[in-house]
């Protein structure tokens, strides 16, 4: 390994180590490498994800909407227009609460930077009224404000039914 000269917005005095390794490195490994050099506390992001999971499992649209800023954006898939504002996010979660039950949710933090948190998440639930068992596995890209509320959430996920 050798010190590489790169241009980035890292804190002054941060050394970035360039690693020459096989193409087998995953995005998660690269994100963890980057996150490990930045002085960021992951706890606010973990607390937000815990609250998100509880709101979903409790089927509580008020608790879910309270996690977002008034002008937050929530992009459910990369092909959908983002929901804009807490009211729209509440309406979305109200629909979730009516159409899902027996919800399970867990996550693992992949990386936290000054601007974003990245997490892998998994969920399972039963669709109402079809009784269709559903599993989701996805990635969140989330920006929190200084109060720990979400300013933007983008997600990518895959579904098994």
Q: E strands, 11-144, where? A: 17-18, 68-75, 83-84, 100-112, 117-127, 133-144
The series of mean pLDDT values per 10 residues for the chain, 161 residues long, is 41 40 47 50 95 98 98 96 97 96 97 94 96 97 95 97 94
**Which pLDDT tens digit goes with each residue over 80-125?**
999 999 999 999 999 999 999 999 999 999 999 989 999 999 999 9
Say how many CA atoms lie within 13 Å of 113 toward its Cβ.
Answer: 15
Question: Residue-wise over 3-13: b if at least 16 C-beta within 10 A, else e?
Answer: eeeeeeebeee
The reported pTM is 0.75
Confidence at residue 41, expressed as pLDDT on a 0 to 100 scale: 87
Confidence at residue 32, expressed as pLDDT on a 0 to 100 scale: 52
Cα 122 from chain centre: 11
Confidence at residue 40, expressed as pLDDT on a 0 to 100 scale: 76
Give 102's strand partners.
none
Q: Are residues 97 and 18 in contact, defined by beta-carbon separation less than 8 angstroms?
A: no
């Amino acid at each position: 390994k050798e010190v590489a000269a790169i241009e980035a917005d890292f804190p002054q005095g941060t050394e970035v180590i360039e690693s020459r390794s096989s193409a087998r490195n995953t995005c998660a490994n690269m994100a963890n490498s980057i996150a490990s050099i930045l002085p960021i506390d992951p706890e606010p992001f973990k607390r937000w994800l815990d609250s998100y999971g509880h709101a979903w499992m409790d089927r509580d649209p008020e608790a879910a909407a309270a996690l977002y800023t008034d002008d937050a954006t929530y992009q459910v898939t990369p092909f959908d227009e983002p929901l804009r504002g807490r009211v729209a996010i509440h309406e979305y979660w109200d629909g979730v609460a009516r159409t899902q039950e027996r919800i399970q949710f867990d996550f693992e933090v992949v990386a936290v930077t000054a601007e974003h948190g990245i997490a892998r998440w998994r969920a399972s639930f039963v669709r109402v009224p079809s009784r269709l068992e559903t599993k989701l596995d996805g990635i969140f890209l989330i920006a929190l404000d200084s109060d720990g509320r979400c300013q933007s959430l983008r997600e990518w996920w895959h579904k098994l039914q």
